Amino acid sequence: MRWIKTAVIVLGLTAILAGCGTTTATLDGPTRISASTEYHHGEVRRVPSATGCVALTFDDGPHPIFTPLLLDILAEEDAVATFFLVGDRVQRWPEITAAIAAGGNEIGNHSWNHAAFTSLGADDIATQLSSTDAAIAAATGREPSIVRLPYDAWSARVLALIERPVIFWDVDTLDWRYHSPTRIASVVAAGARSGSIVLMHDIHSTTISAVRPAIQALKAEGYELVTVSRLLSGQPCN
């Protein structure tokens, strides 16, 4: 499965954030910083105050084969991650969704059917989010508190409609394009800093193969693997 990436938008946002050097930034008002509250109109790429912490994130699951394999690796490595799940896949594989949560991992909302929110009206965006919340809650007993937008498709209008932290990333493994475990693990090891958010997808076998070496490289550098909400707390890991 190939996701179309909006490279121009990524570069544009990178340019915006490069100038402010903060955890969050607004597109339509003054920059706001908050560890755990008031993320309206805000997006998160990295939480520098969470020194020694790194958050691995996996999008587009659950996958019936690869997600359980990944959960085993995380447990063996004594690590947790954050999974941005697609609602119609949660509905199809609720038991895998429950296993993600049972492992101490975080679950985030990645829309109902991987829709590009920039093409949707406010009502449709609300439905995408609420139906996915409901499916995740039915499987785990808990609604997600964070959102990631499919295709990196964002706008000021879309962000303003989402009353939750919208989680981007500062380390993009491009694992959907380059199916090389060695390359993926190298990008993680070379790119991760304190408070980094690493983007991967647990729908590719090559990504799963990269996770253990990536985690071991990060641990060797002294990093602790934590969930995104743990990062957002702003508390250091060391």
Closer to Ni ion by CB, 133 or 152: give it: 152
Is 59 catalytic? The answer is: yes
* Non-local CB neighbours of 116 within 8 Å, separated by 6+ positions: 150, 151, 153
Query: Does the footprint of Ni ion cover residue 108 (CB under 5 A)?
Result: no
17's enclosing H/E stretch is: helix 7-18
- Whole-angstrom Cα distance, residue 165 to residue 35? 11
3-state helix, strand, coil in the chain (%, to 5): 40, 15, 45
Q: How many chain residues bind Ni ion (CB under 5 A)?
A: 3
Active site residue 88: no
Give the residue, chosen from 43, 60, 106, 172, that forms a contact with Ni ion under the rule CB under 5 A.
60
Least gap, CB of 167 to Ni ion (angstroms): 12
From the candidates 41, 63, 110, 201, which is the catalytic residue? Answer: 201
Task: Report if residue 172 touches Ni ion, rule: CB under 5 A.
Answer: no
Side chain identity at 88, as an amino acid letter? Answer: D
Which residue stretch of 7-15, 29-37, 149-157, 219-227 sits at the interface with Ni ion (rule: CB under 5 A)? 149-157
Q: How far is the CB of 84 from Ni ion (least distance, A)?
A: 7
- If one asks whether residue 150 binds Ni ion (CB under 5 A), the answer comes out as yes
| Distance, CA of 172 to CA of 106 (rounded, Å) | 19
Which of 59, 152, 170, 202 does the annotation list as catalytic?
59
Closest CA relative to residue 70, chosen from 192, 170, 215, 178: 215
The residues annotated with a catalytic role in the active site are 59, 201
Q: Which residues bind Ni ion (CB under 5 A)?
A: 59-60, 150
